[in-house]
């Protein structure tokens, strides 16, 4: 939680943190500012003190909505410093950054750098800063175990309420997609048709998804996966836009939108087969569902997340599938890890991979996905089932949005022969 | 253009470039890969050779759509390197990056770093790389004058066609907003009402904008500005969500969506006053429109963009407004620069600020905005007019989307007394 930041800085021996980039689609900056139209910003927080937000002069009123102390960049005489830097913009930025640190009482020590922004200009500035302010040492961290990944790992109830609301929006969109698909007319060759009688494509379905998400107050910054047939067998295939929707094919529909303005995400997957299912596909689905249920029933407080990854691997291996436990980087069978934390990032701590550190626990406040799957691209099929869970303060596991687990969706205007 | 990359690398004495981050919402990576569902990637291009795209194994098929040479990250034995690095993820990443460079024939020299991604993990990796591969020197550049800003500055006709299409979508949404606003019922206190009789807010209008953008195949990653009254007088105020729509107030509507999937942008602004306008607001609008027309009529091939900024400042100063020519960082009057290039970034080269380098020319292939404005927050008003232009290969200036310049929009269900 946010209140852990000072302790996390202490544990990393950081005297201050510097966050760069805009307030939207930049999780660390959003986390401390609450988002909004603050496009060119820097934030400095000295350990034990409040954060200071440096903003474009034109964005001063938007920046003030964060409730943080604001310093408009116009405070630093740009033209004068530009001359002093001999017209070198990177040097000028470093000179200004040094003054910004001084204005926050940071005159030396270790400073952790965070943010999602342009790496090139950041590096150019830091190379100069190292020279003109060697007493300040700027350091980075691998993302997966960074200070913000630890802080964000546990959510307070207001954060969970926002994720739950996104779960409601997400499943409402999934419900509309199911309703739309099952209401289509079907051609003799089992292709679904649009209102105008032309074949329905993956691109058509995706544009409806975007529309419904916008209508319900969400955005879709990373797109979604709507993959049919062979594509469904490739876990991260987003689907081929020109593919036609056909009966009896596995469709993996993985949707991970966020609040409009770049806030909290939800993550959800169902696998469908329209009209009927090949027996082999039904068997694959049943296997995944059985393993999903086994995990969901056994989720337990303060257990390392990877214990459930091991459980899933063992279950699938019993049935002869390859998994990361017995195969390095398998391309068929069970080819990914069980889930991940979820919040301002689609993927965040806790991690469930077999090599994840033991401190990736299902502790109170964690919000995480559970998403086992099996993939056989050469057999033209794949299955994944995913829900998002919250580890409640009382230790109970709560699924944050309910949705049925039907695999075969009956077509209203088509009868199985 | 893309074909300029090798020459631009040569001019910067770069032996190679490294781009990091995902293929969407990351302009340099999108520029070379064409976007798509490639979330964790690195791209290395040695000068004079083709680019190599390193991707997550699960995303190999999506990555292959780029047409580039693909190397899945699974090629590098993760677990073995992790052990060798003593469990230090940043060191492991640096070791892998060194091998990736070697596989592209880059064993030393200067490498330019680009991309919009997590700066913290990037810095952590580079600090290790500097130590284990001192023969490779990774350098950054200030964004505004970077290699990619230069390459992207001139567009080929296929890029312009995509921007023009976004112009059509953008102005269609603006037309729908105007139609929606002018069809509203108006309360006795001149507040617009929704269908259900409750007051219409800025948030309501924005959710319709998002909906219509999604419907037309666009996304709105940076939001839009819909600012009324005093907010209209603060150029970068996005508007207050709870503000009510009222007659006779200036509304600055600045909309800058991009193609779904994070591609090309458009940028467009109109200022409206619903029902009627205060004489003072009408006069302000007329002044801005006259200056806009003067610029549009005088745009000329190969002239430095900032010449028009000077022209605008001089014109506004004649009428007694403050401008950046006579005032450092003015907060009322004309407070920004005239425009900017537009493409995969909302803001890119050429720049029009008074201190912009002379090589920011209106040369063939440039796409740029023209957007003069006047702002008086304390008088509760602001005006901006913006269109996007293309400098055609034949030297003519083409506005990429037409839209009327009406300031007062007549209300269908309200009569001026």
User: Residue B383 and residue B290: Cα distance in Å, rounded?
Assistant: 12
Position A416 pLDDT exceeds 80: no
Structure tokens at B331: 């907060």
Least confident of A183-197, B180-194, B201-215, B285-299: B201-215
> What confidence tens digit (pLDDT) does each residue in B251-307 have?
999 999 999 888 999 999 999 999 999 999 999 999 999 999 999 999 999 999 999
The interface residues of chain B toward chain A in range 128-147, judged by CB-CB distance below 8 A, are 138-146
Helix (H) or strand (E) holding B382: strand B381-384
* Domains A2-150 and A153-409 are alike in CATH topology: no
**Distance (Å) of CA A407 to CA A82, A236, A275, A295, A332:** 63, 20, 10, 19, 21
Burial class of residue B3, CB neighbours in 10 A (0-12, 13-18, 19+)? exposed
Cis peptide, bond prior to residue B287, ω within 30 of zero: no
Polymer length of chain A: 417
Pick the CATH number of A2-150 from 3.90.1310.10, 3.40.50.300, 3.40.350.10, 3.40.30.10: 3.40.350.10
Which of the residues A236, A238, A355 would you substitute to probe the B interface, choosing the one with the greatest number of B C-beta atoms within 10 Å? A236
What is the reported pLDDT for A38?
87
Question: Could you read off the pLDDT of B110-141 as tens digits, one per residue?
Answer: 999 999 999 999 999 999 999 999 999 999 99
Q: What are phi and psi of B335, to 5 degrees?
A: -115, 5
User: Which of B29-33, B260-264, B384-388 is the least confident region?
Assistant: B260-264
Quote the pTM value: 0.88
Q: Measured between beta carbons, which residues in chain B are less than 8 angstroms from residue A220?
A: 219
The answer to whether the beta carbons of residues B55 and B47 sit under 8 Å apart is no
Q: Determine whether the interchain pair A114/B120 forms a contact, defined as Cβ–Cβ distance below 8 Å.
A: yes
Q: Looking at chain B, which residue has its C-alpha nearest residue A226?
A: B37
Segment A168-219, tens digit of pLDDT = 999 999 999 999 999 999 999 999 999 999 999 999 999 899 889 988 989 8
> What is the pLDDT at residue B383?
98
Domain extents in chain A: 2-150, 153-409
pLDDT for res B417: 63
**What's the pLDDT score for residue B37?**
80
pLDDT tens, B315-373? Answer: 999 999 999 999 887 889 999 999 999 999 999 999 999 989 999 999 999 999 999 99
User: What is the ipTM for the molecules in this complex?
Assistant: 0.87
pLDDT at B237 over 90: no
Among residues B76, B94, B73, B72, which one has the least CA distance to residue B85? Answer: B94
Q: How many CB pairs under 8 A join A and B?
A: 199
Does A143 contact B126 at a Cβ distance shorter than 8 Å?
Answer: no
Instruction: Tell me which chain B residues have a C-beta less than 8 angstroms from the C-beta of A207.
Output: 214-215, 217, 260
What's the average model confidence in pLDDT over B245-255?
98
- Radius of gyration (C-alpha) of chain B in whole angstroms: 24
Residues B267 and B369 sit within 8 Å (Cβ to Cβ): yes
Min Cα distance A265 → chain B (Å) is 15
Indicate the average pLDDT of chain A. 95
Instruction: Check CB contact under 8 Å for B237 and A37.
Output: yes
Query: pLDDT tens, A110-136?
Result: 999 999 999 999 999 999 999 999 999
CATH architecture designation of domain A153-409: Alpha-Beta Complex (3.90)
Residue B138, class by beta-carbon neighbours within 10 Å (0-12 exposed, 13-18 middle, 19+ buried)?
Answer: buried
Q: How far is CA B138 from the centre of its chain?
A: 27
CB contact under 8 A, B235 and A58: yes
The 10 Å Cβ neighbour count of residue B1 is 13
- Overall size of chain B counted in residues: 417
A-facing residues of B in 2-61 (CB < 8 A) are: 20-21, 24-25, 36-37, 39, 56-59, 61
């Amino acid at each position: 939680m946010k209140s852990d930041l000072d302790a996390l800085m202490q544990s990393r021996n950081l005297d201050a943190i510097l966050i760069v980039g805009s307030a939207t689609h930049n999780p660390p900056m959003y986390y401390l500012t609450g988002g909004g139209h603050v496009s060119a910003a820097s934030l400095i927080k000295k350990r034990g003190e409040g954060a200071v937000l440096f903003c474009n002069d034109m964005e001063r009123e938007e920046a003030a909505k964060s409730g943080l102390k604001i310093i408009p960049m116009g405070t630093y005489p740009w033209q004068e410093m530009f001359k002093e830097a001999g017209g070198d913009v990177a040097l000028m930025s470093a000179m200004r950054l040094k003054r910004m640190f001084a204005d926050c009482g940071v005159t030396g020590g270790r400073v952790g750098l965070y943010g999602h922004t342009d790496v090139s200009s950041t590096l150019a500035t830091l190379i100069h800063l190292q020279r003109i302010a060697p007493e300040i040492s700027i350091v980075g961290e691998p993302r997966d175990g960074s200070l913000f990944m630890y802080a964000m790992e546990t959510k307070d109830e207001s954060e969970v309420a926002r994720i739950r609301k996104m779960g409601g929006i997400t499943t409402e969109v999934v419900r509309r997609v199911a309703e739309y698909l099952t209401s289509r007319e079907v051609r003799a060759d089992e292709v679904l048709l649009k209102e105008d009688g032309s074949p329905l494509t993956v691109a058509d379905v995706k544009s409806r998804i975007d529309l419904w998400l916008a209508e319900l107050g969400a955005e879709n910054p990373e797109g979604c996966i709507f993959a049919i047939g062979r594509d469904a067998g490739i876990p991260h295939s987003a689907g081929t836009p020109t593919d036609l929707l056909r009966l009896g094919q596995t469709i993996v529909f993985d949707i991970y939108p966020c609040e409009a303005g770049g806030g909290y995400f939800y993550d959800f997957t169902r696998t469908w087969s329209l009209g009927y299912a090949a027996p082999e596909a039904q068997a694959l689905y049943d296997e995944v569902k059985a393993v999903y249920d086994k995990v969901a029933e056994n989720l337990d407080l303060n257990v390392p997340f990877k214990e459930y990854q091991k459980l899933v691997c063992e279950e699938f291996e019993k049935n002869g599938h390859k998994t990361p436990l017995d195969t390095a980087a398998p391309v068929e069978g069970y080819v990914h890890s069980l889930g991940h934390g979820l919040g301002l990032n689609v993927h965040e701590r806790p991690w469930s991979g077999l090599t994840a550190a033991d401190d990736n626990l299902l502790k109170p406040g964690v919000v995480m996905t559970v998403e086992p799957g099996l993939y056989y691209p050469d057999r033209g099929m794949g299955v994944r089932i995913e829900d998002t869970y919250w580890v409640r303060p009382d230790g109970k596991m709560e699924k944050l949005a309910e949705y049925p687990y039907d695999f075969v969706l009956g077509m209203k205007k088509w009868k199985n022969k």
